[in-house]
A and B are shown apart, each in its own frame.
Chain A
């Protein structure tokens, strides 16, 4: 770094100190609080809260919801990125905007929209009641709301990379006799696999940790429609703080693992993965 653009040493030190203090207060302290609150009475009560049946069923449900929402958004995200990056068609910019739309919608509204369609007073409410199909306050509602909230993640991480890589390799593959699927699996996918993995990880972290959207459609039926974050809320409201923070610690760990994996991927590929997507 050149001298002219160097800041005075005292200023550097001051700014670094300030940033570190704020980082501790804003980012590190909450994280530490989760784990210390969970272990306030030792490790045994925390473990108990985690292996308790309601907690286990919440975990199962969370995994199940993510197991549907993440593949759906991966498929959609890959298809959208392929179409947008490799072809020209009118309305492309609008399509990109619409795909990113769910990011600017409040999680609560993301749940609300499905209540408006499938709820008791919703468009299909009466029909669903007649046919004894439950969507809101049941698994399908949780899956839908989660899918909405995590909708853009994969597309947002893949699209910039695929646009940057252009179409030349795919065109070369075509002139060499490769078909559509061969081109996709042998040329396109290997070029974006790390970004795809990054997008899937972020999508998964958000899917498992989503709170507002599933709170609206869940109905809080313990052991049936409670995902992990909802289970945390219930425990907290019942003043079972250790249990709440113990389950919260698991979710925090999921977040930390995701961050670490993302950092690792970025290190490998020397390319940022837009987590803020």
Chain B
């Protein structure tokens, strides 16, 4: 055996056995993949496969049904609108929480997380109780303006704002907190007015975070179920959301149609999130 050969052998063995400084990669990765595969990937694969059981024409027929289209319009429209509404609202909350000191600030800071921690069904019930015609808020609004909120699309919208808003706040807040005041001060020394500074210095710095918050809020809102079904009234063609249609199809033992609707929701939401991601990349272009 030549010297070179002996020198090479242990190294090759080392590489083949995946020698690493720390132990436990095999075990932890094995557990991870088993966990991920069994709980998430295989079930999602079922969702991707099941619809085609009724053929492409079957899937198309399910999705082009007027009631399904109306539900998609409501779910995606209201979710997008809720995310748009939470832009200024989230900015307001994040700004006030990070920039000002006032009594109750810490409480406000904690309160903002409530939608994350409150079970969705509880939130749904609570908003229904509030906004129904005899509710604390619903009654005065109905008396004063003749507005009805519960069991109308606007009720769905309000429930989704509740769901989406914290995502916006919590996405913007850390960026706003870390945003050095020097930038604003520099702008001021260069003669910018406060509005110009906010518009040209602060807002562009926040843009990626706003898009992140928008995406997270929209993503959560579009699939939301518990917070919405109590206040929606669930009238077909009017206030019926897409996730509810899935439940309805399942109750009719039409698994393939339910899967088709579910898959379409996921794909559509994914495309919108992808677009947001590209937008974010474009906003961030040239930045580290």
Contacts and interface: CB of A to CB of B under 8 A. Distances in A.
Answer yes or no: A and B touching, Cβ < 8 Å.
Answer: yes
Contact-residue bracket for chain B: 35 or more
Contacts of A184: 24
Interface string A172-183: 001000011001
A25 B115 CA distance: 13
Interface string A56-76: 000000000000000011011
B100 A83 contact: no
B43 A276 contact: no
A109 B223 contact: yes
Given A183-B22, A232-B122, A151 B39 contact: yes
Contacts of A130: none
Contacts of B31: 75-76, 79-80
A79 B28 CA distance: 5
Contact of A20 (B23, B108, B135): B108
Contacts, number: 293
A144 B39 CA distance: 7
A248 interface: yes
Given A1-B181, A76-B36, A215-B225, A22 B92 contact: yes
Interface stretch (A46-54, A95-103, A190-198): A95-103
Contact of B112 (A2, A27, A98, A102): A27
Interface stretch (B9-17, B143-151, B246-254): B246-254
Nearest to B95: A15
B29 A115 contact: no
Chain A interface mostly: helix
A45 interface: no
B121 A248 contact: yes
B119 A208 contact: yes
A148 B38 CA distance: 10
Contact of A16 (B100, B170, B259, B266): B100
Interface in B212-233: 216, 219-220, 222-226, 230
Contacts of B29: 79, 83, 87, 89
A183 to B, nearest CB: 7
Nearest to B120: A211
Nearest to A235: B125
A147 B39 contact: yes
A275 B22 contact: no
B114 interface: yes
Chain B interface mostly: helix
B72 interface: no
A15 to B, nearest CB: 5
A160 B106 CA distance: 25
A30 B127 contact: yes
A31 B112 CA distance: 12
B121 A15 contact: no
Given A103-B219, A276-B116, 4 more contacts: A95-B32, A98-B40, A148-B43, A276-B216
8 contacts: A80-B31, A87-B29, A99-B40, A106-B262, A115-B250, A151-B39, A174-B23, A245-B129
Interface of A: 1-2, 4-5, 7, 12, 15-16, 18-20, 22-23, 25-31, 33-34, 37, 72-73, 75-76, 79-80, 82-83, 86-87, 89, 95, 98-99, 101-109, 112-117, 119-123, 144, 147-148, 151, 167, 170-171, 174, 179-180, 183-184, 202, 205, 208-212, 215-216, 229, 232-233, 236, 244-245, 248, 251-252, 254-256, 258-260, 262-263, 272, 274-276
